Amino acid sequence: MIVVGYNGFTRSAELFAKLYGATGVDRHQLIGHDASAALVVDGEVVAAVEEERLSRAKKTSDFPVHAIRWCLRQAGIGLDDVDVFAFPWRFAPEVVDRTIRDIADGGMPVVAKFDQLGRAGELYTGMLGRAAVHADFMTRMDYPLDPNSLALVPHHTAHLMCGAYVAGVRDAAFLVSDGRAETHSAVMGELRGGVMRAFEQGSVGMDDSLAMAYGKITRYLGFVPNNDEYKVMGLAAYAPPPTRNPLLVNAVQLNEDGSYRIFIPGEKKAYYSFFDALFEGDSEKREDFEFRVKVAGLAQHMVEAVTAHQVRVLGAATEFDTLLFEGGLALNCVAGTKMLQRSSFAAMEVGFGASDPGVSIGAAVHVAGLPERPAATRTPYLGPAYDEAEMLSALAEHEDDVEWAELDAAQLTARTVELLTGKKVVAWFQGRTEYGPRALGNRSILADPRFPDIKDVINLRVKHREPFRPFAPVVLASEAPRLFDLGKKTVSPYMTFVFPVRAEYRDRIPGACHVDGTARIQTVDGAANPELSALLHAFSASTGVPCLLNTSFNVAGEPIVCSPRDALRCFLKTEIDQLVMGRFMVAKRSGRDA
C-alpha cells in the first residue's frame, strides 16, 4: 500500500490574515503551518520533507506542491501509483455543528455572534471543509483526485501516530498537547495494538490551550508566537525557581480529571494589560532583560506544573509504563524531561516530528496502519540527498567566491577535527536532509565545546541571533552517560530532552552548558549517522571530549539549508569559517568581494 501524507493549505495565510489579522508578528497563528509531505510504502516511511526546505519560505502553510512532488520522485512513482492521500485535519460535520453551537451559546452580543459565524463559515467553505481540501489538491497538483482516495485524519491522531511510528511502539499511554486541533488542544489516552483510544478525562478545549497561553507570553516578551517559544524556554533558565507563581494563582485552574482551565484574555490588548498587572510590567519594562527573564521563568514554570498535573492523572489511569508525548508542546524539552523524571512512567518518547511537521507522517501511518513489527531503527534522515555532480555544479556557480578540494573520508575527518580544535566554525552538509524542526547532524553548524566563548562567536558572527540562546551538544551515544545525567533515559537521538551536565565536565565543555548547567543533547552512533559518528570518534581521540556543539545550518529567519546551493549561499553570507559538503572541503577565496 502506498500512502502520501501531506499538510498545508493554499489559502491559509490569505484567509487567516483577512479574517483574524494573522499578519506580521502573528503570521504563524494559522492552521497548516509547517507544511510538509511524507510517503509511506508498505508501512514504512521512505521519504519526507518540509515544504520550507524546498520553497525556502520558513514555516510556510502553503499547499506542499514541492514536497509531494519530491517524495514521489524519490520513490520513482507518480500520482496514479498512490492508493491514498492522507490529510491531517478532519473538520467533520459534527465538529462544525459543535463550533456553531459554541458560538451561538456564547456570551457575545448578537452582532458579534453573526460576525464570528460569518468568519467561521468562510474559513470552512474556503479552506477547511472536505470539498475545499479536495479542490485544493486537484488545483495545485493539476490532478483529478478520486474523492475516495482522500482520507481526512483527525489532527491529534496524526500527531500520535507519528510518535508511535518513530518510537516503534503499538502499546503505550499518550499525551498530545499543542496549540489547537479541530476541537481540542490536549488529549490523553492509550494506544493498544496500534489503535488510539482517547480518554474522556483530561481533554482540554482550544479556549484553554496551554500552548496558546505560552504563545501569548512569547508575544508579550517581544518574540513571534508559534515560532519563538523555544527562546522563552532558553531565557527561563536564567530565572531562579519561583516561590510563588501568579500565573498558577490567577490564570490557571487544575481539575481533578487531568484537564485545566486557563483564564487569559484572547485579544492582544486585553492580555497585554492582564500580563502587565500580573507581572507588574509596562512597555518599558518589557525591554528589560531581567524582567523578561522573570516572566519567562514564570511561563516555563506554568507549563511544567500543568503538564506534570496531566501526567500524574494519566499515570494513575493506565497500566502502561511507556508514555508517548507529542504535539508542539512536546518540544518544550525542559518540561518534558522533568515530567518523565517525576512521573510514574519508566520511559517517555518524543519524536523528531513532535510538532506539526510530524502530522504528515502520522496521517499516512494512520491510514497504512502501524507496522506489526517495527523496524530496528527509525531515521529522521528522510529528505533530499545530493550527489557529487550536483555539489560540483553548485560550487562552479560560486567559483569566484570559493575554492575547494576533494578529500577521502579519513582526510576529511582529520582536517575537520583540525579546524574545530583551532576554534573554527564548520558547516557540515552530508547525506539526506533531516526531518523536523531540529538539525540532527546532516545540515549542521559544528564547533568545539571546550571554548567558553564559542556560543557568543556563533550567535553574533554566524547565526545573527540573541546572545542568551544556548547550543546543543551532539555526543557519542556510548559516552553520553559519562558526560550527562540521563536519568531514566538511555539515549536521546532527536534533541527532545534536556539533561544536567555532570559536574566534572562543566569546565571541560563550557560551550555546551546552558546557564543552569544543562544541555539539550543528541546522541549518535555509527548505525544512525556513520559520518558524524566517525567525526566524533576522531574529535574524541584528539581532545578526550566525545561531543561537539551542533546548531542548525541556517541564519535567523531562514529555513535550515537543504541543497548545495542553499549551503553555499548561507556559507558566503555568514562568518562560518569552512564548509564540509560531502567529500569537498570548501573555503572562501581570500580577497573576494564581501
Q: pLDDT value at position 592?
A: 64
Residue 167 C-alpha cell reads as 518510537
Pick the closest to residue 330 from 186, 464, 427 (CA basis): 186
> What pTM value is reported for the model?
0.96
**Beta bridge pairs of residue 405:** 585
* Residue 505 predicted with pLDDT over 70: yes
What is the per-residue pLDDT across 442-489, written as a single tens digit (0 to 9) for each?
999 999 999 999 988 898 888 777 888 888 999 999 999 999 999 999
What is the DSSP annotation of 36-69? EEEEEETTEEEEEEEHHHHH--TT--S--HHHHH
Pick the closest to residue 158 from 40, 311, 314, 287 (CA basis): 40
Q: pLDDT value at position 376?
A: 60
pLDDT-above-70 percentage for the chain: 99
Pick the closest to residue 365 from 347, 378, 376 (CA basis): 378
* Residue 425 predicted with pLDDT over 80: yes
What would the mean pLDDT of 86-106 be, rounded to a whole number? Answer: 92
What is the DSSP annotation of 238-254? TSPPPS--HHHHHTEEE
In what helix (H) or strand (E) does residue 498 lie, and over which residues does it extend? strand 498-500
- Please name the residue ranges forming H helices in 142-206: 155-167
- The three-class DSSP label of residue 550 is strand
Q: What is the spatial distance between Cα 494 and Cα 379, in angstroms, rounded to a whole number?
A: 10
The domains found in the chain, sorted by start residue, are 2-152 (3.30.420), 173-351 (3.30.420.40), 388-588 (3.90.870.20)
- The three-class DSSP label of residue 155 is helix
